[in-house]
Amino acid sequence: MLIVMVLVSACGTFMRQPLQPRRAVLGPESPAKKMLLSLPKPQEKIVTAVYKFRDQTGQYKPSDTGNNWSTAVTQGATTILIRALEESGWFIPIERENMANLLNERKIIRSSRAQYEKTDQNSESLLPPLLFAGVILEGGIISYETNVLTGGPGIRYAGIDISGQYREDRISIYIRAVSTANGKVLKTVYTTKSILSQEVSTGVFKYITPKRILEAEAGYTYNEPTEICVTEAIEKAVESLIIEGVNDKLWGLQNPKDTASVAFKNYWDEKQLNYELDPMGRKLDKKNRGRLSIGVQVGSNSYSGDYSKSDLRFKSSFLMGAAISHHFYIDAEIGCRGLMVQDKVDDTSLYGDLSLRYMFLPYEKLTPYCSVGAGYDYKNKGVGLSREKYLPKVNGTFGLEYLVGRSLGFTVSSGVNYYLYDSFDGANAGKHNDFSWGVSLGLKWYLFKMK
């Protein structure tokens, strides 16, 4: 799959490689723009002023080679916000960012008219009055988090390597609407947007002959434009401001029945879903699993000790677990396992274990887990070649669990049992005691919902 991904991606990159200068085109639009334009029409457009809407993070672009004095995000967020307000159809934005330039130009107009029309240059009738805003929009880009998620697969063998890496950054926008009549903060909205960076590469470094080396490499990188991400976050914030304002009766719709429109419904569904997501955007269902678990396992078991030859044997067990918290369970397991030393012994031992299990992602459907514990192997005629009826051990397990619904889980795991005495096979030799290992498939039922 990795090889196919690299080849297809590399081909796509070379096909899109520019071979001649590109002409100027209209700037790309974000998905949030389409949603903003789909909003119902307002009862009356709102005259709005934006004085300053800029980067408040103070961050610079990260660099591996030294200091980089370029800012991490655009410094022109005010212009982006004014465009979003204008094209939404809900606002009449007025110029306030460069107010001094506007006032100076009006003075020049009045002076010129007065000179040629022989009138007083201070006469207010020469120019219509400036619009005043009913609402001022404040806020800015308040957060730019880098390396929120990083990772990627890779493999290298015999001078051939294939690797992929990804990184996710995150930008956050806050906008607040302030009444110019009394200074009251009418509404504050907040949006975030992830910024994705990807890299896929492959290379070869091999000696064809003692004096000839083959070296080749190919790959591509994709970095989502930060400016487009800022634009999308701002447009989403404007959409949120409009819908939240209608809900709080700060402004009205041309048709009041439009509050039941698809745009409004989708927004409230998305907002409700946010309460179920963690900061990484994962849906957390704390009702997953339960306080008590009952399960069965089947699998294979193999001996490893002082004798070199061993075959796989069947094992099965019954499990019960009790939750200490969402992450930790105490598990009790009883079962039987086949243990075999070729030409020496081939028998079945009963065993019992008590272990502590840790669930890495307990609120998700798929989660890795690990456990550590201790127990005994037991057999009436002695365990293995030894004369002991009880053979103490410690064990460790690592596995994956997938939930179907909220209470039924399928597991796959691999575990090791390390005996505390080197007497399972009857030979006390070597630096390490005898141990067994195996792979298991299991089924678990969770009862009694977690609080």
Q: For 236-280, write each residue's pLDDT tens digit.
A: 999 999 999 999 999 999 999 988 899 999 999 999 888 877 777
CA separation for the pair 447, 14 (Å, rounded): 55
Confidence of residue 178 (pLDDT cuts 50, 70, 90): very high
pLDDT reading at 56 higher than 60:
yes
- 56 and 145 fall within a common domain: yes
- 326 and 361 fall within a common domain: yes
CB 43 within 8 A of CB 271: no
Residue that terminates a domain, selected from 266, 281, 311: 266
CATH of the domain at 197: 3.40.50.10610
pLDDT reading at 386 higher than 60:
no
Strand partners, 290: 449
Residue 131 or 279, more confident: 131
Instruction: Examine residue 272 and state whether it is found in any structural domain, yes or no.
Output: no
Confidence of residue 400 (pLDDT cuts 50, 70, 90): very high
Instruction: Examine residue 427 and state whether it is found in any structural domain, yes or no.
Output: yes
Instruction: Examine residue 28 and state whether it is found in any structural domain, yes or no.
Output: no
Instruction: Examine residue 273 and state whether it is found in any structural domain, yes or no.
Output: no
Residue-level pLDDT at 23: 87
Domain count, the chain: 2
- 52 and 147 fall within a common domain: yes
- 349 and 413 fall within a common domain: yes
Mean pLDDT calculated for residue range 148-159: 87
- 323 and 444 fall within a common domain: yes
Which SS3 state, helix, strand or coil, does residue 161 take?
strand
**What are the helix and strand counts (H, E) for the chain?**
6, 16
Boundaries of domain holding 217: 42-61+70-111+131-266
Q: What tokens appear for 78 in the block?
A: 């005010």
Closest alpha carbon to 260 in 247, 270, 272, 275: 247
Q: What tokens appear for 403 in the block?
A: 């939930």
- 305 and 255 fall within a common domain: no
Residue-level pLDDT at 419: 83
- 107 and 230 fall within a common domain: yes
Residue that terminates a domain, selected from 231, 266, 301: 266
pLDDT reading at 39 higher than 90:
yes
Residue-level pLDDT at 122: 60
Which SS3 state, helix, strand or coil, does residue 414 take?
strand
pTM of the prediction?
0.72
pLDDT reading at 14 higher than 60:
no
Low-confidence winner among 11-25, 64-78, 350-364 (lowest mean pLDDT): 11-25
- 145 and 96 fall within a common domain: yes
Instruction: Examine residue 329 and state whether it is found in any structural domain, yes or no.
Output: yes
CA separation for the pair 105, 317 (Å, rounded): 86
Instruction: Examine residue 242 and state whether it is found in any structural domain, yes or no.
Output: yes
Residue-level pLDDT at 306: 64
CB 258 within 8 A of CB 252: no
CA separation for the pair 116, 96 (Å, rounded): 30
Residue-level pLDDT at 429: 59
Q: Strands 328-341 and 408-419, how do they pair? A: unpaired
Instruction: Examine residue 440 and state whether it is found in any structural domain, yes or no.
Output: yes
Average pLDDT, the chain: 85
pLDDT in tens, 98-129: 999 999 998 888 888 877 776 665 655 577 88
The DSSP result for 310-373, as a single string, is ---EEEEEEEEEEESSSSEEEEEEEEEEEEEETTTEEEEEEEEEEEEEEESSTTSSEEEEEEEE
- 56 and 98 fall within a common domain: yes
CATH of the domain at 396: 2.40.160.20
Which SS3 state, helix, strand or coil, does residue 213 take?
strand
Confidence of residue 87 (pLDDT cuts 50, 70, 90): very high
Instruction: Examine residue 285 and state whether it is found in any structural domain, yes or no.
Output: no
- 254 and 297 fall within a common domain: no
pLDDT reading at 51 higher than 70:
yes
pLDDT in tens, 309-336: 667 888 999 999 999 999 999 999 999 9
pLDDT reading at 91 higher than 80:
yes
- 255 and 294 fall within a common domain: no
Residue 79 or 275, more confident: 79
Q: E strand or H helix at 10, and its extent?
A: helix 2-16
- 53 and 148 fall within a common domain: yes
Residue-level pLDDT at 324: 92
Mean pLDDT calculated for residue range 344-351: 76
What percentage of the chain has pLDDT greater than the value 70?
86
Which SS3 state, helix, strand or coil, does residue 49 take?
strand
What percentage of the chain has pLDDT greater than the value 90?
49
Mean pLDDT calculated for residue range 283-289: 78
pLDDT reading at 10 higher than 60:
no
**Residue 390 carries which side chain, given as an amino acid letter?**
Y
pLDDT reading at 190 higher than 70:
yes
